[in-house]
Amino acid sequence: MTFNFARRHAAFVAFLIGASVATTARAADDDSTPISVLIGDAVAEYEAGHYQEARALFRQAHEKSPTARTLRGIGMASFELRDYVEATRALTGSLRDTRRPLTAEQKRHAEALLARAHTFVGRFTMKLKPAGSSLFVDGHPAELEPDGMLLLAFGRHQLSLRCSSCAPTEKDEEINVAGGERREIELALAPAPLPTAADTTGGAGTGTAGGATVGIVSPPGGADTTVERSNAHIWLAGLAGAAALGAGGSALWWREEQQELDLCTRAMNSGTGGSCTGRGEVEDRRKIAIGATIGLGAVAVVSAAFAAILWSRPDKPESSTTNNVACGFGKNSVSCAFHF
């Protein structure tokens, strides 16, 4: 990374001579004095090995009077600081800038230094999707070159693609830059899905449940829901009636099994030596009958309550709130949900 001391010293002597000539030629101009002082101080700091200070002074001089030679000074100091991306940019600019262009010796020196800087910098063509997304490098906004290339110094870097209208909104990728490579990097994020009908109408529409289509019985926005509400209440009333009949039948079964169990118990307690060989089976049937009676009775009560609620609601259409009944069909099962 170091150069022959004699060559570098000769280059800076030429640099100082150029600065001195410029100062003499423009001595009558008061604005030239601060520039010459800045450049002189920058060169002195560089020769002393104070590269941070030298670059800062070269930058100040470039802001006041930008030339190819101030860019060369920035590039040289950046190279010594191992800021190879900045060195590449400044040295490239110095070779192209026509404002006080470099001498032949300065140009050869800048070209040699730029070639060395290229060995420590990777050049990447970025393909970003969607087009409006933002690229960050190590947490900071990426700075692309005029030709769209991304320059990265050798080492590990984290690239981040951010897009507020995508899902997810950010994608990170780590890359290891070896230096000197040129390649293409593609980063893409998928656009967020558009809102569904259920999202925009508060639950009305269609969806899926358990792999089967779910139908919502209530159209949005002021459609007449009287027929759907009436059908729901009739189905619930019928279910309540069927459950009540089933509960009555199981209650009779429960009574018969209880009577048989009582007869068996009396025979065993009569003192005549009687026995009841099927007592265990009778007790099992009695328990089943009790469970069926209680379960069917609960279904009848709940169904009747829902039917009464639907029946008592007004028949007029509702514009903002609708009665929704959603049913899903899965494997060997049917499930319904009610929204009031």
pLDDT, tens digit (0-9, with 9 covering 90-100), for 24-39:
334 334 455 478 899 9
Compute the average pLDDT of residues 167-172: 92
Residue 298 CB neighbour total at 10 angstroms: 12
104 plus 156 within the same structural domain: no
Cβ-contact 277, 260 below 8 angstroms: no
Q: Please check whether residue 153 lies inside any domain of the structure.
A: yes
Domain count within the chain? 3
215 forms bridges with which residues in the sheet? 206, 327
Q: Please check whether residue 28 lies inside any domain of the structure.
A: yes
Q: How many CA atoms lie within 13 A of 258 on its CB side?
A: 9
What per-residue confidence (pLDDT) applies to 98? 94
**Ramachandran sector of residue 121 (left: φ over 0; alpha: ψ -120 to 50; beta: rest):** beta
pTM: 0.49
132 plus 95 within the same structural domain: no
Task: Give the structural domain span for 177.
Answer: 121-188
143 plus 36 within the same structural domain: no
CATH number of the domain that residue 81 is part of: 1.25.40.10
300-339 per-position pLDDT tens digit: 788 778 777 877 765 554 444 444 555 554 545 545 555 5
- Confidence grade of residue 19 (pLDDT, cut at 50, 70, 90): very low
Among 108-117, 140-149, 198-207, whose mean pLDDT is lowest?
A: 198-207
Give the residue, 204 or 197, on which the prediction is more confident. 197
Domain boundary among 118, 153, 173: 118
134 plus 208 within the same structural domain: no
Residue among 146, 162, 91 nearest 120 (CA)? 91
Domain boundary among 68, 101, 118: 118
Q: Is the peptide bond before 130 cis (omega within 30 degrees of 0)?
A: yes
Give the residue, 337 or 245, on which the prediction is more confident. 245
Distance in angstroms (rounded) separating the CA atoms of residues 87 and 67: 16
Compute the average pLDDT of residues 157-177: 94
- Confidence grade of residue 183 (pLDDT, cut at 50, 70, 90): very high
What per-residue confidence (pLDDT) applies to 213? 42
**Ramachandran sector of residue 266 (left: φ over 0; alpha: ψ -120 to 50; beta: rest):** alpha
Average pLDDT, the chain: 77
What per-residue confidence (pLDDT) applies to 225? 46
Q: Please check whether residue 223 lies inside any domain of the structure.
A: yes
207 plus 335 within the same structural domain: yes
53 plus 125 within the same structural domain: no
99 plus 126 within the same structural domain: no
274 plus 148 within the same structural domain: no
pLDDT at 202 over 60: no
Domain boundary among 118, 141, 164: 118
What whole-number percentage of the chain has pLDDT above 90?
43
Q: Please check whether residue 193 lies inside any domain of the structure.
A: no
Q: Please check whether residue 194 lies inside any domain of the structure.
A: no
